[in-house]
Structure 1
């Protein structure tokens, strides 16, 4: 996120696209609700589903799934044509505007309305409202990135933010909301196949030299594999071993049948986790780890804020701290430098090697934390990014063409399936909470009343949902939150493992799969009494 969570309540316009914050990011969602209800903030929601925020929105655009790039191009087209863009900002801070305009000139309101299903009138209203104030922030998440064009979608939102001069200001910016509590921190620490801690590229000799000196090692200069590449290589027999930590790809990755076959084909697999997950059942070795309440350390959240985590309870049984397990494995492999005594000692190394963390100490982040970059101990942390300039100098506008989803409907698979979260089960681990599981113990696939009537469904009846890759059973709920010809399921339930259905087609740059658009067919189960899930 370029801006901080606290700034949301001061926003005059919230532009929420491909995100359902009240269920998937409830703290941020509550801030948005407060801003709208009590502060007069205007809300634009772009989502094919009628979410809680969509019901509160000043403007709701129930876009056709997978047409985000066309929509954003259409908004830019209108904004420039109506002279609502920030010409001074573009001139002083950006490059590539002319190339961008060569592309977006083809995205007329008429064409975009046809692609997206949004009327020309609503397109104009949206463009006008977003450009009505400098205190307008874009907020997005997996509904933008989990497409074969995910990277292009993100770049196009950056185009929109730069054309309108909304980046580098308080209560504005481009704000991707991280899905879990320490995803940002994991990325900061180099848990990416092409980056070192603090984001120097693996292929950068200068970046490697910094860490080679700090760690007295020689680092590989080749990028690693992304998850879909790992699984494909395992399936083909080229990748022999895998160490899975805090991840359950059998439930969370697309085309789950392919995932299972890939994992079964490994020579050796280690899983380090707090429960015996579906993936751990394929492991040769399982290391029982500790949960957040059983450890000391830091988390770095979605607004780049580094915060203390304190041990509240003792770990059960043979569970050990993650860093202690990794250090022991490293030592037994013959590595040096893994003789840490505490999480605080590890944080001292983080500070010494990552410039954006250098000014943080346990004492400074004792209560509310600090947002990076924080280069010195006198620095107050950075509330919002890109004030006055971009790190690379001028912001680069990159033209994006609309491309349809990889899989469209047909006679055999006439319904579009979208996947995501529900509030009661934040991810898959919450199923281990008996209290939460009692609230929502099973999947409820959302289908539109017109589709329910056409197929003969009643509320809570069982259905078989099938795609080109697999088939699952689920109960259904009948609601106009989804459009006719669309349905929605979550990925929380091993009894109805939706990722047996989803398409493994992925973005060519990040290798993120297209979870948000999948063609399926829906069939009523005749013998309802015999189904038990």
Structure 2
């Protein structure tokens, strides 16, 4: 966060930063107003942070690869790239540069709707000086999500902006401990510290540490699990802190699967919409009711301390998992709610990037991994000397259209996201009367021109339909909306935006394309 003040330019894409990451948003605004940092924003909506921007790239949803490659095309054309960095630290540059030939500014204007002059201005701003890229789920929740990130990585390497203060390719994590969960192996293809499940040497190390035989195959993504339930090949599911009835793309399919599965366990802090479908509910303690660590979006490992006692019957997540393991005949560290330090020590022993961390070292201020030994003070900036794999590889990335585009039957493009006063599926925030007063219900954000075309006014009720389902919401005329694109926040179960969204997924990451789907609207009365 503090690094932003050292950037000459920041490029934000796929992130409504001031609403979804307000702490980072505040740091960005300080960098702009107090340190003169320039800002490029790419977003299909006229979000709040656009008012701070030097350039707003208003692209058609799902066309990110085109405008990113076009910025690179302009930078190469005008000789603004960092050839010394490219020669010393990267590979496959020639093939990559040749792949950019078709991505002219004129082509991008036609495909994305961004004027040539804005593309030229953005490319020159990004290429001159130290530039950071911030991105979030608006760039990843597409069938081309992995390609979008590769294209951004290409752009950063092209200008030598990885491994320097004020630079970087920086994902903004969607929830408060996503980074820590991934670091600890909560992914279907990796162990702690991102060792590959299918790598025999990595697997052998964890087998020795845990004294257990481990699978040679990757696990399933969340979407693959639900497809397996539908196919009848997965018969039990254990969900911890997950509410797919509201959060999954094409959520009607998720409900169908959860009703179909023979055995469903849900572990959560409230009786969520998903928990109501469970065979067994395990009440868990919330973050303020237990000890442990979080790892934030900066890779900073931080202490979390128990502040209040959990309600009767609610228990620490780790305690529940350890007790279940014990019932199944496996003896783990018994976390009685006060033994988090022992769990942390075991985590550190199998996670080289956490190797130098101890509770005493992070007692007051967190440390950013990699921190390989106790002499290390952590690593604020990754890839300063070299990339983990040696040289950074340029990838040739072509445009892949969204799985669904507007047509005569469904002429509007829907994109979804969060609002400042609610959080994810609303499990916690919707129980707060103050937050409820600020954001009580779902709505359809729409431009005045589109509202006039459908003969609807501010506050009218409308039915929003896609190929998968329909919901009813109130109309909200908004200056954020642009013609042809509408927005619905996904927090509200009674009008769940994900009833509408498409489950088509990125083939590499498995993430569903919830940021682009075709819809139509019709008035339903006051």
2:313 counterpart of 1:306: no
* 1:181-192 superposed matches below 5 A: 181-192=176-187
> Which whole-Å CA distance do the structure 1 matches of 2:335 and 2:202 have between them?
24
Query: 1:513 aligns to what?
Result: 512
For residue 55 of structure 1, give the secondary structure of its aligned residue in structure 2. helix
* Number of equivalenced pairs: 522
Task: Tell me what 1:412 maps to.
Answer: 409
Give the aligned partner of residue 4 of structure 2: 8
Structure 1 residue 88 corresponds to structure 2 residue 89: no
Q: Match of 2:106, SS?
A: helix
- Cα offset, 1:340, TM superposition: 4.0
- For 1:441 and 1:108, locate their aligned partners in 2 and report how far apart those are by CA, in whole Å: 45
User: Paired residue for 1:531?
Assistant: none
Query: Match for residue 171 of structure 1?
Result: 166
Residue 432 of structure 1: how far off its partner (Å): 1.9
| Pairs within 5 Å for 1:244-283 | 244-283=239-278
Map 1:104-115 → 2, pairs under 5 A: 104-115=100-111
The residue matched to 1:350 in structure 2 has which SS? helix
Query: Does 1:394 find its partner at 2:388?
Result: no
Paired with 1:465 and 1:55, the residues of 2 have a C-alpha distance of 30
CA contact (8 A) 1:188 1:197 kept: yes
TM-score (normalizing by structure 2): 0.98
The answer to whether the 8 Å contact 1:459/1:478 transfers is yes
Cα distance, 1:159 vs. partner?
Answer: 0.3
Cα distance in 1 for partners of 2:181, 2:434 equals 29
Paired position in structure 2 for 1:155: 150
Whether the aligned pair in 2 keeps the contact of 1:330 and 1:338 (CA below 8 Å) is no
- In structure 1, C-alpha distance between the alignment counterparts of 2:200 and 2:189, rounded to whole Å: 13
CA contact (8 A) 2:333 2:343 kept: no
1:134-180 Cα offsets, whole Å, 9 max, x none, are x2100000111000000010011000001111001011010000001
CA RMSD of aligned residues (A): 0.9
8 Å CA contact 1:215, 1:337 repeated in 2: no
How far apart are the structure 2 equivalents of 1:118 and 1:195? 39
- List gaps (5 residues or longer) in structure 2: none
Which residue pairs with 1:42 in the alignment?
38
- Structure 2: distance between partners of 1:335 and 1:363: 30
CA-CA distance at 1:338 after TM superposition: 3.8
1:34, distance to aligned residue in structure 2 (A):
1.2
Task: Choose the corresponding residue for 2:98, options 98, 102, 108.
Answer: 102
- TM-score in terms of structure 1 length: 0.97
Equivalent-residue separation in structure 2 for 1:357 and 1:472 (angstroms): 46
1:504/1:514 contact within 8 Å kept: yes
1:201 paired residue number: 196
Offset from partner CA, 1:85-130 (integer Å, 9 cap, x none): 0001000000011111121011111111111111111111001000
How many Å separate the matches in 1 of 2:8 and 2:89?
23
Post-superposition shift, 1:255?
Answer: 0.5
Deviations 1:415-459 (A, max 9, x none): 000000000002222112222112111112100101111212121
Shift of residue 230, structure 1, vs aligned partner: 0.5
Offset of residue 10 of structure 1: 2.2
Asked if 1:482 corresponds to 2:484, the answer is: no
1:432 alignment counterpart: 431
Tell me the SS of whatever aligns to 1:495: helix
Q: Counterparts of 2:333 and 2:201 in 1: how far apart (Å)?
A: 24
Distance in 1 between residues matched to 2:475 and 2:375, nearest whole Å: 56
Question: Residue 337 of structure 1: CA displacement?
Answer: 2.9
2: distance between equivalents of 1:61 and 1:211? 46
SS in 2 for 1:139: strand
State the alpha-carbon separation in 2 of the partners of residues 327 and 84 from structure 1. Answer: 56
Give ranges in structure 1 of 5+ residues lacking alignment.
529-533
Contact 2:250 2:502 in 1 (8 A): yes
For the residue of structure 2 that corresponds to 1:514, the secondary structure is coil
Structure 2 CA distance for aligned equivalents of residues 97 and 371 of structure 1:
31
Q: 1:318 aligns with which of 291, 313, 322?
A: 313
The answer to whether 1:57 aligns with 2:53 is yes
Q: Does 1:361 align with 2:349?
A: no
